[in-house]
Amino acid sequence: MAGLRARVRAVEQAVAAGSRPRVLYVLWPEPLIVPGRESLVTELIEIAGGRSISASEGTDYPRFALEAAVARAPEVILLANHSASTGGIDRERWRGLTSVPAIRDGRLHAVNGDLLHRYGPRIVDGLEQLARAIHPEAFR
């Protein structure tokens, strides 16, 4: 456990001085499902130095309208990729949204959803992955 705690502290220290960009985390693309106020993923995004645009949603994993996501102007979009059985991520759907800062700035990333949605020791691997996607400058 001490090793896991040390890795979490290392992430917190690495991102402490950076900005806190608005993050859209896509748990599931259709219907669009995002992490809400009480989800662990929302907390992990905060630890990784971001601000989830869906953190104020009242349920753990609410459905979310694409229009609402666009209106909240995420600066980073993270698409959760799951096991091979769920298929690939449809990046083209997102790339067309050129008014969104994350798309305009090339900050659309795939993350390993299995690391972030199956709670256990590997969740720290997921946290590190989030932090690198949100704050790549802190890990160069």
Is the predicted pLDDT of residue 19 greater than 80, yes or no?
yes
pLDDT, the chain, mean: 89
Contact 135/14 with Cβ under 8 angstroms?
A: yes
Q: Where are the alpha helices (DSSP H) in the chain?
A: 2-15, 40-47, 66-71, 91-95, 101-104, 113-117, 123-134
Which burial class, exposed, middle or buried, applies to 49 when counting CB atoms under 10 A from its CB (0-12, 13-18, 19+)?
buried
Residue 63 phi, psi (nearest 5): -75, 150
Q: Give the residue-averaged pLDDT of 19-40.
A: 92
What is the per-residue pLDDT for 83? 61
Q: What is the pLDDT of residues 80-109, one digit of tens each?
A: 987 654 445 566 777 778 899 999 999 999
Q: CATH number of the domain at 2-139, please?
A: 3.40.50.1980
Q: What is the pLDDT of residues 43-71, one digit of tens each?
A: 999 999 999 999 999 888 999 898 999 99
